[in-house]
């Protein structure tokens, strides 16, 4: 192994990769949320479908899609590898262990939260991305593939809405620990900035996840 791969497969190296990819995925969440806000525009989905057309045909976006996939794969693979190492670092467990008295639940259950998000991601990709790419979709008034109609259909089922809301709660908890944790991993901990980073991370997690959760709720209750 070269010094580079050795560095990245150490315990610090792996979590650096988790942190960098994690922050990158946060940037994806922002773009995805802002784009999808067009679901709320009252135009029978014309703007949203035009946006969908742009996102699936712009070469820059297509290239980013591959980088995004690599980001997801790296984030999951490195976190999974570290989790396995960490689980095997203590074979004999404590009979009594009160971790709840010294740490936050979400920080200790990032793997569990991540798994919920991963399962959600598979369902989400199947229902929208897969159908958009390979399914038979009708066209809207402007002649674009009508993904908006698929969205309305999906969010008319209560269990589908429930899955989305629960997953967004899991994502919020994942981000509340993950966002500020990434800065700590990158070595950025300073009494001037860390309180602000933590506060922003909290705000970011709640706002982004509430924004996403509002979409299924909107279509189920108000549309």
Partner 1 sequence: MAGNNPNSTPMNLTLKVWRQKNANTPGQLVTYKVNEISPDMSFLEMFDVLNEDLLRQGQEPIAFDHDCREGICGMCSMYINGRAHGPEKGTTTCQLHMRKFKDGDTIVVEPWRANAFTVHKDLSVDRSALDRIQQAGGYVSVNTGGVPDANEIPIPKSIADKAFDAATCIQCGACVAACKNASAMLFLSAKVSQLAMLPQGKVERKTRVENMLAQHDAEGFGSCTNIGSCAAECPVGISLENIAMLNREYIMAKATSDNIG
Residues 6+ apart with CB under 8 A from 14: 8, 78, 81, 82
Considering the rule CB under 8 A, would residue 12 count as an interface residue with partner 1? yes
> What's the burial of 137, exposed, middle or buried (CB within 10 Å: 0-12/13-18/19+)?
middle
Q: Which residues contact 25 (CB under 8 A, 6 or more apart)?
A: 68, 71, 72, 75
Instruction: Give SS3 for 87.
Output: helix
DSSP, res 96: S
Q: Tokens in use for 94? A: 């404590």
Single residue of 13, 128, 160, 200 touching partner 1 by CB under 8 A? 13
Closer by beta carbon to partner 1, 66 or else 92: 92
What track of x and - describes contact with partner 1 for positions 49 through 88 (by CB under 8 A)? ---------------------------------x--xx-x
Core vs surface per residue 204-214: b (16+ CB within 10 A) or e: bbeebbebbbb
Q: Nearest distance from residue 70's CB to partner 1, in Å?
A: 21
CB of residue 203 vs partner 1: minimum separation in angstroms?
19
Tell me which residues in 82-111 interact with partner 1 (CB under 8 A). 82, 85-86, 88-99, 101-104, 107-108, 110
- Measured from the CB atom, the residue of 84 and 157 that comes closer to partner 1 is 84
Span 158-177, contacts to partner 1 by CB under 8 A: 177
**Is residue 192 involved in binding partner 1 (CB under 8 A)?**
no
Closest separation in Å from C-beta 179 to partner 1:
11
Nearer to partner 1 by Cβ, of 135 and 187: the residue is: 187
HEC-encoded secondary structure of 107-142? HHCHHHHHHHHHHHHHHHHHHHHHHHHHCCCCECCC
**Contact stretch for partner 1 (CB under 8 A) within 122-130, 151-159, 167-175, 185-193:** 185-193
Q: Binding residues for partner 1, how many (CB under 8 A)?
A: 42
In the complex, minimum distance from the CB of residue 212 to partner 1, in angstroms, rounded to a whole number: 25
Cα–Cα distance for residue pair 16/147, rounded to 1 Å: 37
Contact between 125 and 184 under an 8 Å Cβ cutoff? The reply is: no
Using rule CB under 8 A, residue 199 touches partner 1: no
**What are the residues binding partner 1 (CB under 8 A)?**
2-3, 6-7, 10-16, 82, 85-86, 88-99, 101-104, 107-108, 110, 177, 181, 184-190
């Amino acid at each position: 192994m070269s010094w580079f791969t050795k560095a990245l497969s150490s315990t610090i190296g792996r979590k650096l990769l988790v942190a960098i990819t994690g922050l990158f995925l946060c940037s994806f969440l922002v773009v995805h949320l802002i784009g999808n806000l067009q679901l709320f525009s009252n135009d029978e989905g014309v703007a949203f479908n035009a946006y969908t057309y742009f996102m699936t045909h712009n070469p820059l976006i297509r290239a980013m899609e591959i980088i995004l996939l690599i980001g997801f794969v790296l984030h999951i693979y490195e976190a999974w590898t570290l989790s396995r190492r960490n689980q095997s670092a203590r074979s004999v467990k404590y009979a009594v262990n009160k971790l709840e008295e010294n740490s936050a639940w979400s920080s200790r259950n990032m793997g569990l939260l991540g798994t919920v998000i991963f399962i959600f991601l598979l369902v989400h990709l199947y229902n929208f991305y897969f159908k958009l790419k390979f399914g038979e979709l009708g066209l809207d008034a402007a002649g674009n593939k009508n993904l908006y109609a698929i969205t309305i259909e999906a969010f008319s089922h209560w269990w589908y809405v429930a899955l989305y809301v629960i997953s967004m709660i899991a994502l919020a908890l994942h981000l509340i620990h993950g966002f500020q944790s990434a800065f700590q991993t990158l070595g950025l901990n300073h009494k001037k900035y860390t309180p602000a980073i933590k506060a922003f991370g909290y705000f970011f997690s709640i706002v982004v996840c509430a924004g996403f959760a509002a979409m299924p709720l909107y279509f189920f209750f108000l549309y």
